[in-house]
Amino acid sequence: MPEEPRPLCAHCGVVVKAVDTGRPAEIVYRHDLRVEPWDHLLEPVLGTPRPLPPACDFCEAPEPDWIYPPATGPVAPHEDLPASEEAPLLHELTRHEWFACDTCSVLIADGDLDGLLDRVLGDRPALDAPTARRVRGAFGTFLAQDPHPYPNLT
Ligand SMILES: [Zn+2]
Ligand SMILES: [Zn+2]
């Protein structure tokens, strides 16, 4: 049976979802990813989504070596995280596993936010300063929960 067309991003093929902003009249769309891509804006169209192979949720390296279980305790948003990103990011942190490659997991273990951003934004530059700040806020929020991974054996 062919898949029903779904809202997705024309640029990257990732499924798009509406975000509950807490304001009824306002609908915000977002890539259905742990962290939104930083090198392009979302361009919604209808289509058949591409299945995404597992990748590092930070640098997008394939075949990530480490899995971080969902956060169990309270998560404090980083000061650079825009208010509009709080609900979707906390949802991703508390309900989903995150993947990381070996290199990113070392930076995470060291709590090295600047190192992680250098690595990630060096390969895929941010659109603009607010985007770089949003990525910093998202990764900073991840680091603040002092996450501990287990090896990905699949
Ligand atoms: Zn996209
Ligand atoms: Zn990585």
DSSP string, the chain: -PPPPEEEETTT--BEEEE--S-TT--EEEESSSS--SSS---EEEEPPPPPPPB-TTT--BS-SEEEPPP-S--PPPTTS-HHHHHHHHHHHHHS-EEE-HHHHHHHHTT-HHHHHHHHHHHS--SSHHHHHHHHHHHHHHHHT----EE---
Q: How far is the CA of 28 from the centre of ligand 2 (A)?
A: 28
Q: How far is the CA of 108 from the centre of ligand 2 (A)?
A: 10
Residues by chain with Cβ below 5 Å of ion ligand 2: 56, 58-59, 61, 101, 104
For residue 79, the model assigns a pLDDT of 97
Range of the domain at 69: 6-151
Q: How far is the CA of 48 from the centre of ligand 2 (A)?
A: 27
User: Does 1 fall in a domain?
Assistant: no
User: Does 34 fall in a domain?
Assistant: yes
What parts of the chain have a pLDDT lower than 50? Answer: none
Q: How far is the CA of 130 from the centre of ligand 2 (A)?
A: 22
For residue 84, the model assigns a pLDDT of 85
For residue 129, the model assigns a pLDDT of 94
For residue 17, the model assigns a pLDDT of 87
Count up the domains in the chain and report the number. Answer: 1
